[in-house]
Every structure is written in structure tokens, then in C-alpha cells.
Chain A
Amino acid sequence: AQTVTQSQPEMSVQEAETVTLSCTYDTSENNYYLFWYKQPPSRQMILVIRQEAYKQQNATENRFSVNFQKAAKSFSLKISDSQLGDTAMYFCAFTVGRGGGADGLTFGKGTHLIIQP
């Protein structure tokens, strides 16, 4: 069974600072995908960034980037130039690719990120 661990229940930074959220996972699979989702108070789960395990290059989406360390099974999210709208719960998630469909996502417990003005 796969597990996802987020060891930071809550983080708080000042606007415009850079913040890194940690995530580790455990799996024996080789073909898998990792995600960061954002859930603001409105409850809607929004995809932030996605990483395929077979790709060595770290994914980047505007101010969001990941540090994917496959051997260490680590998948951290870096948010640059943080904005007030980045305040939300952030969930790390994992799924195994099956060559036709994919497993249900396994989520961590989340990190509550607060951006202070």
C-alpha cells in the first residue's frame, strides 16, 4: 500500500517570501505520478502541479515548482513570491499508472499555509 506523509501541519510566511512544503511517500511501484493540490476555504480542490516519476526534470508552473527526489521518495513544493491568495490547505497526492486508467489518489493529511500581509 502506498502512503503519503506531510510533516508540516501548518506554515506561515510573509507575502512575497518563498516557502517550501514537504512531502514524502512510500511505494514499491515504478510507474507513478505525484501531485500537489490546493484547497482554499471554498473547498474546491485545485491542481497546482503534477510530476511523472519517469521524468527527471522537475515540474514548474509559474511561481510553483517541485523538487522531486525519486531515490529519497521526496516531493516538495516551492512557492516563490507568495501571494495572499496562496493561503489554503495544500495536499500532496500520489497515484500509480496502470497503462489504462490510474489508481485512486492517495493523499497526505495536508499543510495549512498562511500568507501574512
Chain B
Amino acid sequence: DAGVTQSPTHLIKTRGQQVTLRCSPKSGHDTVSWYQQALGQGPQFIFQYYEEEERQRGNFPDRFSGHQFPNYSSELNVNALLLGDSALYLCASSLWELQETQYFGPGTRLLVL
């Protein structure tokens, strides 16, 4: 049973650039949520996708956008990168109808220079 996978593992970008992070949910799951975890902090909710639509959004600017594909995988895009965007980005998957617990992937470490 494949768990949540994310790519890439690490990424280095410069200010102003754009980045795309990818996530494949756990087998059987249909909902993907994205979180940002700054160093020494708990994760913060960015947004959640179900049926290829953004269903909920946390307190993040429009520079953060996403997409969900028909196979339930998802992308997180961040435009006009700032130094403060350096963080661990976590993807979590769940089952919408059963309010299933969210299972996390290993994360993508983004460093903005």
C-alpha cells in the first residue's frame, strides 16, 4: 500500500523565482492538503483540494496556488518567491466522505536564497 509521496525532496531557488511541488496521495484517498512548516514551528494549513477544486484555504497570499489532477495527485505552486517562503512543505492525503485522518508525506525542503 503506497503512502503519500512528494517530489522533489529538496529544492533551492532564488528570490522572485517560481516553484512547483508535487504530491501523490495514499492509495484510495481523494483529498489533498498542503502545509507549510517553518523551522521550529508547527505546520500551517495552506489549502485543500477535492474533486479538482480548492475547497478550503488558510491565511496564505495568492502567490500560493495549487491544482489537483483527475488521478488525485496535486501540485503546489509558489510565485515571486520570498526569503520567508523557505520552509518544509508537507502534503497530506485523506478521504473526503469519511473525514478520515490526514496522512502526511515526507515533505519537500525549499530554500530561497
Contacts and interface: CB of A to CB of B under 8 A. Distances in A.
A100 interface: yes
Interface residues of A, number: 27
Contacts of A33: 99, 101
B42 A110 contact: yes
A109 B41 contact: yes
B92 to A, nearest CB: 8
Interface stretch (B17-25, B61-69, B73-81, B103-111): B103-111
B48 interface: yes
Interface stretch (A37-45, A60-68, A71-79, A80-88): A37-45
A101 B90 contact: no
A101 B98 CA distance: 7
Contacts of B43: 45, 91, 105, 107
Interface residues of B, number: 30
Nearest to B57: A104
5 contacts: A33-B101, A101-B48, A104-B46, A105-B102, A107-B43
A97 B101 contact: no
B44 interface: yes
Contacts of B41: 109-110
Contacts of B102: 95, 105
B42 to A, nearest CB: 3
Interface string A39-58: 00011111100100000000
